[in-house]
């Protein structure tokens, strides 16, 4: 297993995403989540980062709704729900979690 909680070194990403990702991992660990849950939530954040070119600090609810709606069309609902889960508890930096989750779920 990697020395990094998610298996991926946060420094491998550009700033400010790397700092947000590191903070997200710390937040998940402090919540006492199991390692596999932390890995899944970290993977979800990496996917969002990759999709938006790691420019995630100013994402609008509409952008996130479009992203999760597209995910719902190409992935199982359980996978999309897993990607939405860390958004509900995210510290900050990834747009507004409330409303986006509900909008994507009803799309």
* Domains of the chain and any CATH numbers: 10-106 (1.10.150)
Of 13, 24, 6, 42, the residue nearest 90 (C-alpha) = 24
pLDDT digit of tens for each residue in the chain (107 aa)?
Answer: 356 777 788 889 999 999 999 998 888 889 898 888 888 888 889 999 999 999 999 999 999 999 999 999 998 888 888 888 765 545 555 544 444 444 444 54
Q: Report the predicted TM-score, pTM, of the whole model to 2 decimal places.
A: 0.74
SS3 44: helix
| Gyration radius of the chain's alpha carbons | 13
């Amino acid at each position: 297993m990697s020395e990094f909680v998610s298996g991926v070194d946060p420094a491998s990403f550009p700033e400010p995403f790397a700092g947000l990702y590191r903070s997200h991992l710390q937040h998940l660990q402090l919540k006492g989540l199991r390692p596999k849950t932390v890995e899944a939530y970290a993977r979800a954040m990496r996917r969002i980062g990759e999709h938006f070119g790691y420019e995630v600090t100013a994402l609008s609810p509409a952008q996130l709704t479009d992203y999760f709606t597209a995910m719902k069309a190409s992935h199982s609902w359980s996978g999309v729900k897993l990607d939405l889960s860390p958004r509900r508890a995210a510290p900050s930096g990834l747009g507004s979690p409330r409303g986006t989750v509900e909008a994507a779920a009803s799309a």
